[in-house]
Chain A
Amino acid sequence: MKIVLPNKLMSDYSGFSFLAKLSCELEVAMFNNVELSFENNTWFEANLCAVLGAIINKSQGDLNDFIFTDIQPKQRNILSKNHFLASFGGVKIEDGFNTTIKYRKSKISDEKLIHEYLFRELLGKEDFPKLSIGLTKEIERSIFEIYSNAIIHGGSENIYSCGQHFPNKIPARVDFTIVNMGTTIKENVVKHLNTLISGKDAIEWAVKERNTTKPKTENIPGGLGLKIIQEFAKLNNGKIQIISDNGYWQFTPNGIHSNTIPYPFKGTIVNMEFNLDDKSSYFLSSEQDQEIVF
């Protein structure tokens, strides 16, 4: 079985649709040797390693074997630096420019190790631009809100993450992607509301403040994490994309765009894009005076 990656694999509707289609094609494969060919690929956004790794890992569970062929030197270099290829039998090399954020497969019980990984790979890196404490903290919080959502709602054993720093883009940005191959948002929402809805509508429901699919029996409220992230993305001029089942949802300060993707993704992908040229302090004086009121 040979699968050819597209010329450009980017964190956009087309890129995520391709990856969802790939996951569907592999779902029916068993005992196959799968060749993932990069022969046409000239651009691969490395944060998408989180998605590709999650798909491959799931398929390996069906006893499929994978090889990567015709990887062009530039892509091979990046995928070796971020340890993606090393996770599948390739080599790892040092990242002299420190622009990669390593591919990682984490157990859901590794929450605290994920914190260390994030510091080592992103916010604590020497070459990482010096950000305001407020911005650093909001980036960190956003990422952990998503990890936490994946742990609480995904129900899968592993969480996959990877990022990429784009220092030469204007504005400079970091993309960070988190993937779980567990219960989709649609499955959770349909079960919770006992109503049939599309993948797109399910994501739209889940991102609204107050909405949560946590069972009432747990007595723990929810439905705030995604609101906070959206607020931050708006201030930061960043971006959030969520892909789950056949739903595609994107938030930018210009508005929300949602769509249906042709093939369902049996899990959830969250990609966050942070604007590193943001000089906002994120500490509003009025908030500093706030007291905690029960």
Chain B
Amino acid sequence: MEKKQITIQVFDEVGGTAAISVDDGNTIFKKIDHAITNDVKVVLSFQNIELIITAFLNAAIGQLYSKYNSEQLTTFLQITNVRPEDKRLFNMVIERAKDYFSNPASFDASINAEMSTND
């Protein structure tokens, strides 16, 4: 049976054309999480969004990788109406999140190693 599907309009969630707030990103993350948990697919539409920053995307999209893998997100999440010039930003955030959640401890280990070699 075809999965149920909902659409989240980012324009409506952020109350305008600028996706700049971490709080708004968190709200969207929670909505997506709630849907996936209930086996519902999500279309996340960026129609009418003119400005996106990484802090928003880290909260809305990057945070999903703390709970889901690429395969699950490919199944449950569809991102639409993103302006061509913004797509790179999404991919950067996704790559960063995968890296971050694959082994968060390794970040601090490598950082500390780096700092001690600089001493």
* 3 closest Cβ pairs, A-B complex: A148-B55, A288-B84, A221-B100
Q: How far is the CB of B68 from chain A (nearest CB, A)?
A: 9
Interface string of B60-74 (1 = CB under 8 A from A): 001101100010011
Q: Is A293 engaged at the interface, CB distance under 8 Å to the other chain?
A: yes
Using CB atoms and an 8 Å cutoff, list the residues of chain B in contact with chain A: 15-16, 18, 20-22, 26, 50-56, 58-59, 62-63, 65-66, 70, 73-74, 77, 79, 82, 84-85, 87-94, 96-97, 99-101, 104, 107-108, 111-112, 115, 118
B21 touching A111 by the CB < 8 A rule? yes
Using CB atoms and an 8 Å cutoff, list the residues of chain A in contact with chain B: 111-112, 115, 134, 137, 140-141, 144-145, 147-149, 151-152, 193, 195, 197, 201, 205, 210-211, 216, 219-225, 228, 282-283, 287-288, 290-294
9 example contacts (A-B, Cβ-Cβ < 8 A) are as follows A141-B52, A141-B53, A145-B55, A201-B118, A210-B100, A221-B65, A222-B54, A222-B58, A283-B85
**For B88, what are the chain A residues with a Cβ–Cβ distance below 8 Å?**
287, 290
A193 touching B20 by the CB < 8 A rule? no
Given the contacts A224-B92, A292-B91, A145 and B82 also touching, CB distance less than 8 Å = no
Q: How far is the CB of A217 from chain B (nearest CB, A)?
A: 11
Given the contacts A152-B22, A219-B66, A292 and B90 also touching, CB distance less than 8 Å = yes
**For B84, what are the chain A residues with a Cβ–Cβ distance below 8 Å?**
283, 287-288, 290
Among A151, A197, A219, A292, which residue has its beta carbon within 8 angstroms of that of B87? A292
**For B70, what are the chain A residues with a Cβ–Cβ distance below 8 Å?**
294
Given the contacts A151-B22, A195-B115, A220-B59, A294 and B73 also touching, CB distance less than 8 Å = yes
Q: How far is the CB of A133 from chain B (nearest CB, A)?
A: 9
Q: How far is the CB of B118 from chain A (nearest CB, A)?
A: 7
Q: How far is the CB of A193 from chain B (nearest CB, A)?
A: 6
B58 touching A221 by the CB < 8 A rule? yes
**For B104, what are the chain A residues with a Cβ–Cβ distance below 8 Å?**
216
Main secondary structure of the interface of A (DSSP, over half): helix
Given the contacts A283-B85, A290-B91, A144 and B115 also touching, CB distance less than 8 Å = no
**For B89, what are the chain A residues with a Cβ–Cβ distance below 8 Å?**
228
Given the contacts A201-B118, A292-B87, A292-B90, A115 and B96 also touching, CB distance less than 8 Å = no
**For B112, what are the chain A residues with a Cβ–Cβ distance below 8 Å?**
193, 195
A205 and B89 CA atoms in complex are apart in Å by: 22
Among A134, A216, A224, A292, which residue has its beta carbon within 8 angstroms of that of B85? A134
